[in-house]
A = this chain, B = another copy of it.
Amino acid sequence: MRSYGQFCGLARALDVVGDRWSMLIVRELLLQGPARYTDLKNGLPGIATNLLVDRLRELEEAGVVTHQDAKPPVATALFKLTPWGEQLRPIVLALGRWARPLMGKQARADHVRAHWLALPLESMLVDRSPKQRPIRIELRPMRAGKPMLLETHEGRVRVRTSDGEPADAVLSGPADVIIALLAGRIGLATARARRLRVRGHARVLRRIGPASDTRLSA
């Protein structure tokens, strides 16, 4: 991208991460941690291969991303965020929250990846009974790749890739319905009417819900 050529912090930031796809690459690295080129490509449906390469190089040049060229066990390079790049996390979260009014309905043609759910869910949900035994809910959004596991941890909610361990409940269906249900915007009956399938102990769902404080925070 051409530089804006403005002596202004925002303009400088956008010189670095304002290119098309750049912020989404940061999102992937925030969600996936160190990732291979192919993992990034899978998490960025719609990107052209040459653009992914270009952006990674630009971000590396700017100091947002580094790549390690190959450790003995894995035969491939890993891309990761620098500490400075990591500091984009609250900004990425805040932008996602700002866009919540746009997340109501999932368009038919929208791409979905299960790990994207970690962004809204972790920043929105809390465990209402943190004293009780932790719960685990497997999330299987439709056409969204690998399932994710939502678990409670010290009052917070964490979402990570599932390694197939048994969960208290399994939710399958459209991603927007899963989010609306967990956020408490719709009930179980409505969710089922919108094609959600629930296996396991549905009552654990009551354990989690939106935090009262919805404002910006680190």
Contact = CB atoms under 8 A, between A and B. Distances in A.
Contact of A102 (B12, B92, B216): B12
A215 B218 CA distance: 8
Copies of this chain in its oligomeric complex:
2
Contacts of A23: 10, 14, 18
A116 B9 CA distance: 9
A13 interface: yes
A11 interface: yes
Interface in A81-114: 84, 87-88, 90-92, 94-103, 106-107, 109-113
A157 interface: no
Contact of A99 (B9, B94, B97): B9
Contacts of A217: 216, 218
Contact of A119 (B8, B16, B96, B107): B8
A96 B13 contact: yes
Contact size class for A? 35 or more
Given A8-B27, A10-B95, A91-B95, 16 more contacts: A1-B20, A6-B46, A6-B111, A7-B103, A7-B111, A7-B175, A9-B95, A9-B97, A9-B99, A10-B23, A10-B27, A10-B96, A12-B102, A15-B102, A87-B98, A91-B216
Interface of A: 1, 4-16, 18, 20, 23-24, 27, 45-46, 84, 87-88, 90-92, 94-103, 106-107, 109-113, 116, 119-120, 175-176, 215-218
17 contacts: A5-B45, A6-B46, A7-B103, A7-B111, A7-B116, A7-B176, A8-B119, A9-B100, A9-B102, A10-B96, A12-B99, A15-B102, A16-B102, A18-B18, A88-B98, A215-B218, A217-B218
